[in-house]
Each structure stands twice: as structure tokens, then as C-alpha cells.
Chain A
């Protein structure tokens, strides 16, 4: 049997800094929405995993590449609203991308 590892994608997600939810709660909520929309089997197969972003109001969630569209749709069509900042194949590259963005300057001003 081939030692084949499925490709993953790491998604940097910005959440409202005034949000009542903490990253692990948001991760749970995303998982629930994923399950509601695409089923338990798909959700388990996607292997969603929360990582520490090392940045302020940004969290990182890992997901199997095959289920990335499902994951992003669950993010977009769920509450609270979250913004996808960057997607990468490695955590190291993703953190580098986020650090380049200078996202700390973005305030949650009402437009």
C-alpha cells in the first residue's frame, strides 16, 4: 500500500475582534454549519483542525483540499461572519502571508 498523504489547505480567517466567540468556539460553529449543509460524513472526512495563528483576531483552520469548497461555503453561509484572508498549503507560508498583510490596521468600523 502506498504511503499517500492527502493534500491539506490552511485557511487564515479573520474574526471580529469584538466578537463574543473565541477561536475554538468559532471552529465548533463552522463544523456545525459544515455538518448541517454537507453531512456528518463529509465533515469528518474534511478533518477540520484549528491552529494557533500567532496574530490578533486571526485564526487558522486546516482542511483537506478535496473539501475546501465545502469548508469555505460553510464559512460564508454561516454566522458569525468571518473573512478568509489567505489560503496556503503550509502553515509556515500562511503565517508569512498573513504577517505581510499588516491586518492589524484594519478596524471593524461600520461602513
Chain B
């Protein structure tokens, strides 16, 4: 049993015009204590929706279905709000992109830090404040006693994010989901925050889900990487394997189109993936990436990968292994996989 098990997660939205929009399809992955799973995706990939589905924070018109969505063996889908509240914030924590808008502007840091603790732990207000000071020290904030009484607007972006992290780990969660934690921060602060997350993960043996659009960032801090495109996982492998040879043309495109310090406009233009990500209401048939793919063949736009693979593979274990992973059909057929 894994800490977090997701099998064939589907997410649909019911819109006003009786339309059903498919936001996530066949998303499957697992996570264990001490592991860092990096999820890479651009806008429209569904990476944030996956996080919200796990946390149970989706809007009312969202319909979630999955073969399995369990945390510590308990089914997250069948829980009611009270049960979910037991887990949210206590065992599974999440930090978001812009710390300045995630912190309450009118409450002091102390109030916000102790709020989570008082809600989930059996602890007195005084002890909670003491613990808050410890937490601020742990996340590298100097002068924690003074900072307790300050308001969010008095903090810089980096410090505010550290406070968010302190809040998130205050209940010693088993799983921490970090959704674009450093996108709004300066580059030197980014490194500090990510190093801090890694350090805390090792100390507390937490599971960490690091979500970002920046493949370089994910590659540096994760052991396993999962690439999402248009609501599906298109590739999920260990970091080494993926960087050595990307299997899905989208991953390959992402890796190639990112400039490095060695890029130079006078030497070569940047590799770019043509076209744009399909919108929720305009999902193509067959392979989602086909319209932009340089390997595209006729069958890519007609059949779905899962179907073809089901026909190709006979063994249960193999089907299980590729369940929820949409590899490139063309490459699979060419036996390049």
C-alpha cells in the first residue's frame, strides 16, 4: 500500500449548457513517504486540478471518478466534509503560488500559524505560540519572536512563502503538495525556498509533490517526474531516464525548447513546439498532442492509446504498468518504447 494511490482519476465539469467537459483523464500515480514526485505541466495541463481533487477542494460542478483515490489506504472519494477536514491541513498540506494572496491580510502571523495547530492538534494556545516560534526558526526566519506579531504586508515574498511553509508543516503532515511554490519569487529566493522544502522533507520524512511548469526546476529537485498535457499524464519516469531520453514528443519538445546558458541566438534558433494547448472545450480526438506533433501519423488522431495498448499487451502486469500513462502511440508502435 502506498501513501497516496491514484488510479484512473477522471474529472469532468458540468457546464450550464448541459455540456460535459473532460478535464482529467486516466490520471494514475502513487507516492510514498520520503519521495519527491515532480509534476510538470503548462497551462491547461490539469496539474492544479489533480491537486485540488486530492484535497477535495473542487467546485460543485466537478465530477470526480476514480478506480482508486486513497490516502493511507482510506478512500478519499467517499469521505464527507468532516472526514476530509481531518485530513486536510493535518495529514495532507498544500502551499500555493502567490504567498501574498494566500495569507490573510488582516491577521498577524501568530494568529495564522496557531490557527492550523489549534484546529488539528490537541494543544493549548500558549503551547501553539511556542511551537510557532520553533517553526519560524525551522524555516529560516530570523527574529521569530518579533515576526510573530507582524502582518503579511510587512513581509517580503520570500519570507511570506516561508511562513506558508511553516503553516503547512505545523501539523507534521505526511504529504505536502507544493503548487508552483516559487513562481512569484525572485530567482535567488527560489533556490532558498526549494532547498528548504527538500531539507524539511528529509527531516520529517514527508512525501513531497512538487508541481511546476518549469521542467528545469522539477528536474533538479525530484526523483520521479510526471509530465502532464491536456488533462493526461503523457510520461512518468525517473528523472535520470527522462533526461537521458524523453519518450513522449511533448516532453522532448519541452526539454528542447527551454533555453540554457549555452543557448545563443546567433548559433541556432530555439526549438519550439508549434500550435497551442487545446482548450477544455476543444479537446481533439485520439492523442491530445497530435495536432502539434512532428511525428504525427493518421492513426494518432483516430485511436486512443489505451485502447490500442490493451489490444497489444496480453499480460495483466503490463497493462497495469501502463495504466494511466499515455505514451506516444507512434513510438510505441515503432517499438521505440
The reply to whether chain A is a binding partner of chain B is no
A: which residues have CB within 8 A of B? none
B: which residues have CB within 8 A of A? none
